[in-house]
Amino acid sequence: MTAPSYTRADFQTDQEVRWCPGCGDYTILASMQQFLAGLGRSREEFVFISGIGCAARFPYYVETYGMHSIHGRAPAIATGVATTRPDLSVWVITGDGDGLSIGGNHLIHALRRNVDLKILLFNNQIYGLTKGQYSPTSEVGKTTKSTPFGSVDYPFNPISLALGAEATFVARTVDMDRNHTQAMLKAAYEHKGSAFIEIYQNCNVFNDKAFIDITGKEERIHNRIDLEQGKPIVFDEGSKAVVFRGGEAKIVDSSSVDPKAIHVHDETRQDSSVAFALSRLAHGPYGPTPIGIFRRVERPTYDAGVNAQVVEAKAKQGEGDLAKLLRSHGTWEVKPGSPNGGSAES
Amino acid sequence: MADEIATKDPSSTPTEKLDKLVIRFAGDSGDGMQLAGNRFTDASALFGNDLATLPSFPAEIRAPAGTLPGVSSFQLQIADFDILTAGDQPDCLVAMNPAALKKHFKDLRQGGTLIVNTDAFDERNLDKAGYDTNPLEDGSLEGYRVIEVQMDELTKEAVKDTGVSGRNVLRSKNFLALGLMAWLFHRPIEPTIEWVNKKFSKSPDVAAANIAAFQAGYTFGEATEATKTTFEVKPAVLPPGLYTNINGSAALAWGLIAASQKSGLPLFYGTYPITPASDILHELSRHKNFGVRTFQAEDEIAAVGSAVGAAFAGSLAVTGSSGPGIALKSEGISLCFMLELPMIVINVQRGGPSTGLPTKPEQSDLLFSLYGRHGESPIPVLAISSPSNAFEMAIEAARIAIRYMTPVLLLSDNGIANGSEPWLLPDLDAIEPIEAEFAMEPNGPDGSFLPYMRNVHTFARPWAVPGTPGLEHRIGGLEKEAITGNVSYDPANHQLMTDTRAWKVANIANDIPDIEVNGDTDADLLVLGWGSSFGSIRAGARRARLEGRKVATAHLHYLNPLPRNLGEVLNTYEKVLIPELNTGQLLKVIRAEFLLDVTGLNKVAGEPFKVAEIAEKIMEMTK
């Protein structure tokens, strides 16, 4: 069978896209459709599962199989799909409220199990669909409808959280950079197991310019730290570098250190502590912030394990025989016309 | 080893012939009473008695030894006719320590047989049980036939050459008691010996110790004056065929496997550990060669979520829990109802609310099952009536879920899950196949796929699973436009879809059996039940009939929709009695549905109805 040839339009549905004009979700949707078209894999083999929130409308706009489910539960529902159908490519679309607040438990357990899911967390650091309350990634002090005197709630660092949850693939990208987004989607797609991508997504209505340090034309030159496999981590036109001191990642002037001391990025390290240290360079998109793949390691996937046990059981015990199962606790026979049986069969 | 056992026939001694007998084993949770009870049950089943069992154990795994909360018990009734319950009052009580005696003596029939382990009646244990004086010495057991056995000493002596030592020595004590019971009640000994040898094949010393203790108990029976009179219950007259002894959890698991085979759909069970539903997971997880996939989720919500996902992807999806867990699943069940995907939700009810009585039976989740979801979400609700009935009802739940593309709630309870009874094995070929057809072709104009275009008979929507070319579609929790399934906020459409979903479920009434009336159809009184009180109700009615009363019974296996003929049946009788292990939940439903002034008999005491309780109420209402 030849690979199907698609254009972006083949992955667009007949539904009118209803996000606010200027929302970062449009760009992410376009990146995804472009990426899927370029893959050449049959449309029917993709499943998109989302929870609740602005981002969660995503499946309605992608011409594949999809489910817009309930708040926070997409990773659990997707686990049911992936575990029973390892032939499919299963994607989870979630947000900072959906994935880190109400659905935090499902997210960490899906990552821990390494279910073959691609989890995209659209982080806009605000509750958009409910019209502007602070989220678990909003910064301390943030003034919103629910925090008129400023938030006193300390935020998650989603990358640190995913690494702490034993995720085997952890990356970050930004909505506006379509090429980088598509590169991250491709790497996630190719990864066997749970792949977690945090996507900085601008909410121009309730939290505009939250990511300006990373996306602004001027600002990004100074603040965007691109993580590239096998390369020393330098940024700000080479003037800044990342080194490790006392187990911590530090930003220094490149000129102040021996070039050999500059940390060379290796996303394949089994131990996640270096990746974790890199995730701590910024606790949010403020100032210098790493973008790219933090961690990419191999570990057996949950769904493969479950299905291997079924195959193994069949090979060992033979295809299940229900009549035999019903007799497995021992039986006795009552003969016709006789008042009793009493002869043990097994 | 069997030849080492004393083979003197107990019927050579004075034998009292009984038609039925109720026995209760009671001891510390660590005394192995459940095991002893189960062995006695299996031996009786293989002997050919009809029987029913009622295990009862504390919620704590090992409550402090010797205390009242730590007492675990196992009751069974054996008979030479078809019995329906595990019996009200034990004829024989085995008490392994003072706490067991304290807790259970009040239930023993006047003049009944009491077997006590005198070695456990020391000052410390008496004190723990709250006895001021030793009941073995203060005359409080007068009028009962007391068989005193030094079980610790006899066990130590019996196992001394078997290689077990230390704490393991007294672990064979339950087999000593079992051996004595085998003598006293003419139980065949081979099944127990075979079982021990198989079960402990990897620890021959333990097997030898258990058999030695069993033999010592049997020999003690033979040699002791106190046990000179023995009892015999002849095998029951049962319909011919092959039988097994089955508990409700296994029957339910096997029913799900049968439904998977009959539908050709792989079985997926997503669940979270909770008493008393976990045994279904334990049983299913052993049978992966049937294509069963089990998923122990991070919580109840993920469990139902995974089942919704598996249903979307084309499995026979099942989730199971008990009351508190079902509460957490509520949102997921509503989603499934909205998506119109097949799923079975099992609720093994227990005493509530909250953690309540987690190891005791109750039927208090009926209204919750019928109405415990947000929005208009009337899902089908089915209820199991006995351990073996779980097999049939699991298949029925799957049939309805798949045929009508809907979640189905299947109610069990702690009594059914842990209780056991002989089961005439069904003819598997006679079980109807469950038609499960996936959509393969577009059903709309210009090759489009309309996910909410319905079957004209069942009103079910097509089931198009991911991976099917050309049928890519999106579903979700938002209200959908009829036919296209696109998101719709149109007022008339929401009315139409709400009515359609309700009508689809109500229409299932045309596809379920009528309720049958049992007993005196010309009586003035009908006793209507549902769930696990089936046995007590039938037996209570039978007892009242022996007293010359006329009474009819009927039992509901379908709570939503109700059988089509139910109103007609209820209106035939002057009086209707509804016994339930709750404060009157079916009662409310019947009053609301049929505007009938029916009477309730209600109990929430963490135990099933006694036959006497039902019989008394019937007597009172048929004066």
* Lowest mean pLDDT across B7-11, B194-198, B206-210: B7-11
**How buried is A252 (Cβ within 10 angstroms: 0-12 exposed, 13-18 middle, 19+ buried)?**
middle
Which pLDDT score, from 0 to 100, does residue B8 have?
65
Q: Is pLDDT at B374 greater than 80 in this prediction?
A: yes
Residue B240 lies in a domain: no
Asked if B309 lies within 8 A of A77 by C-beta distance, the reply is yes
Pairing mode, strands A331-334 and B230-233: unpaired
CA distance A332 to A325: 15
Residue B432 lies in a domain: no
Distance from CA of B229 to the nearest CA of A (A): 24
Of A178, A210, A242, which residue sits at a domain end? A210
Of B478, B511, B544, which residue sits at a domain end? B511
Q: With bands split at pLDDT 50, 70 and 90, how would you rate the model's confidence at B104?
A: very high
Residue B533 lies in a domain: yes
Residue A109 in tokens = 């357990």
Give the mean pLDDT per block of 10 residues along chain A (346 residues). 87 95 97 97 98 97 98 98 98 98 98 98 96 96 96 97 98 98 98 98 96 96 98 98 96 97 98 97 94 98 98 97 95 71 35
Of B392, B425, B458, which residue sits at a domain end? B425
CA distance A221 to B424: 78
Number of H helices, E strands in chain A: 11, 13
Distance from CA of A230 to the nearest CA of B (A): 37
Of A210, A234, A265, which residue sits at a domain end? A210
Which runs of E-coded beta strand occur in chain A?
46-50, 65-68, 89-95, 117-123, 169-174, 195-200, 224-227, 234-235, 240-245, 248-253, 289-296, 331-334, 343-344
Residue B115 lies in a domain: yes
Asked if B471 lies within 8 A of A44 by C-beta distance, the reply is yes
Residue B328 in tokens = 């957490």
Residue A339 in tokens = 């008042």
Mutate which: B272, B301, B312, vs A, most A CBs within 10 A? B312
Which pLDDT score, from 0 to 100, does residue B57 have?
83
Asked if A73 lies within 8 A of B242 by C-beta distance, the reply is no
Tokens 């002034």, located at residue: B597
Give me the total of CB pairs closer than 8 Å, taking one residue from chain A and one from chain B: 236
Whether residues B183 and B270 share a domain: the answer is: no
Q: A339 and B250 in contact (C-beta within 8 Å)?
A: no
Residue B430 lies in a domain: no
Q: B45 and B76 in contact (C-beta within 8 Å)?
A: no
Whether residues B160 and B304 share a domain: the answer is: no
- Residue B397 sits in a domain of what CATH number? 3.40.50.970
Q: What is the DSSP string of A55-70?
A: GGGGGGGBSSEEEE--
- Residue A83 sits in a domain of what CATH number? 3.40.50.970
Which pLDDT score, from 0 to 100, does residue B26 have?
97
b/e per residue, A6-17, with b = 16+ CB within 10 A?
beeeebbbeeee
Distance from CA of A131 to the nearest CA of B (A): 18
Asked if B428 lies within 8 A of A322 by C-beta distance, the reply is yes
Which residue of chain A is at minimal alpha-carbon distance from B302? A76
Which pLDDT score, from 0 to 100, does residue A335 have?
81
Of B204, B233, B262, which residue sits at a domain end? B233
Average pLDDT over residues B438-463: 96
Angle between helix axes A302-317 and A74-84 (nearest 10 degrees) is: 30
**How buried is A324 (Cβ within 10 angstroms: 0-12 exposed, 13-18 middle, 19+ buried)?**
exposed
Residue A112 lies in a domain: yes
Residues of A in contact with B331 (CB under 8 A): 70
Average pLDDT over residues B101-115: 95
Which residue of chain B is at minimal alpha-carbon distance from A68? B476
Of the partner residues A47, A83, A344, the one whose CB lies closest to the CB of residue B466: A47
Asked if B257 lies within 8 A of A322 by C-beta distance, the reply is yes
Measured at the alpha carbon of residue B500, what is the angle toward residues B494 and B503, in degrees to the nearest 5?
140
Asked if B478 lies within 8 A of A317 by C-beta distance, the reply is no
Residue A219 lies in a domain: no
Residues of B in contact with A333 (CB under 8 A): 240-243
Q: With bands split at pLDDT 50, 70 and 90, how would you rate the model's confidence at B46?
A: confident
Q: B84 and B241 in contact (C-beta within 8 Å)?
A: no
Residues of A in contact with B446 (CB under 8 A): none
Name the β-bridge partners of B93. Answer: B24, B114
Q: Residues A10-47: pLDDT tens digits? A: 999 999 999 999 999 999 999 999 999 999 999 999 99
Residue A236 lies in a domain: no
Distance from CA of B619 to the nearest CA of A (A): 33
Residues of B in contact with A49 (CB under 8 A): 309
Which domain, by its residues, includes A22?
Answer: 8-210
The pLDDT mean for chain B works out to 95
Whether residues A165 and A310 share a domain: the answer is: no
CA distance B151 to B216: 10
Of A210, A241, A264, which residue sits at a domain end? A210
Q: Is pLDDT at B49 greater than 60 in this prediction?
A: yes
Which runs of E-coded beta strand occur in B248-335?
267-271, 293-296, 316-321
Residue A277 lies in a domain: no
Residue A293 in tokens = 């793949």
Which pLDDT score, from 0 to 100, does residue B7 have?
55
Which pLDDT score, from 0 to 100, does residue B595 have?
97
Total domains in chain A come to 2
Distance from CA of B101 to the nearest CA of A (A): 32
Phi, psi dihedral angles at B592 (to 5 degrees): -70, -40
Q: Residues A299-341: pLDDT tens digits? A: 999 999 999 999 999 999 999 999 999 999 888 888 876 544 4
Q: Is pLDDT at B226 greater than 80 in this prediction?
A: no
Distance from CA of A85 to the nearest CA of B (A): 7
Whether residues B313 and B400 share a domain: the answer is: yes
Is the Cα torsion angle B538, B542, B544, B545 positive or negative in sign? positive
CA distance A333 to B2: 23
Residues of B in contact with A43 (CB under 8 A): 469, 472
Residues of A in contact with B292 (CB under 8 A): 310
Total domains in chain B come to 4
Asked if B332 lies within 8 A of A73 by C-beta distance, the reply is yes
Distance from CA of A4 to the nearest CA of B (A): 12
Residue B238 lies in a domain: no
Q: Which helix (H) or strand (E) holds B21?
A: strand B20-28
Residue B166 lies in a domain: yes
Could you say which DSSP state residue A259 is in?
Answer: G
Q: Which helix (H) or strand (E) holds A107?
A: helix A104-113
Q: With bands split at pLDDT 50, 70 and 90, how would you rate the model's confidence at B15?
A: confident
CA distance B206 to B53: 27
Whether residues B368 and B280 share a domain: the answer is: yes
Helices (H), B105-247: 123-129, 151-159, 173-184, 190-199, 204-223
Whether residues B388 and B535 share a domain: the answer is: no
CA distance B345 to A275: 42
Which pLDDT score, from 0 to 100, does residue B233 have?
93
Asked if A79 lies within 8 A of B478 by C-beta distance, the reply is no
Q: Residues B553-591: pLDDT tens digits? A: 999 999 999 999 999 999 999 999 999 999 999 999 999
Whether residues A203 and A312 share a domain: the answer is: no
Whether residues A79 and A191 share a domain: the answer is: yes
Distances (CA, A) of A306 to A78, A196, B56, B316: 15, 21, 35, 16
Whether residues B84 and B207 share a domain: the answer is: yes
Residue B431 lies in a domain: no
CA distance B31 to B383: 34
Q: How many CB atoms lie within 10 A of CB B205?
A: 14
CA distance B174 to B214: 8
Q: Residues B283-304: pLDDT tens digits? A: 999 999 999 999 999 999 999 9
Which pLDDT score, from 0 to 100, does residue A334 have?
86
Name the percent of chain B lying above pLDDT 70: 99
Whether residues A204 and A76 share a domain: the answer is: yes
Of the partner residues B254, B268, B467, the one whose CB lies closest to the CB of residue A325: B254
Phi, psi dihedral angles at A105 (to 5 degrees): -65, -45
Which domain, by its residues, includes B224?
Answer: 2-233
Q: Is pLDDT at B13 greater than 90 in this prediction?
A: no
Whether residues B229 and B213 share a domain: the answer is: yes
Whether residues B527 and B415 share a domain: the answer is: no
Angle between helix axes B33-47 and B173-184 (nearest 10 degrees) is: 30
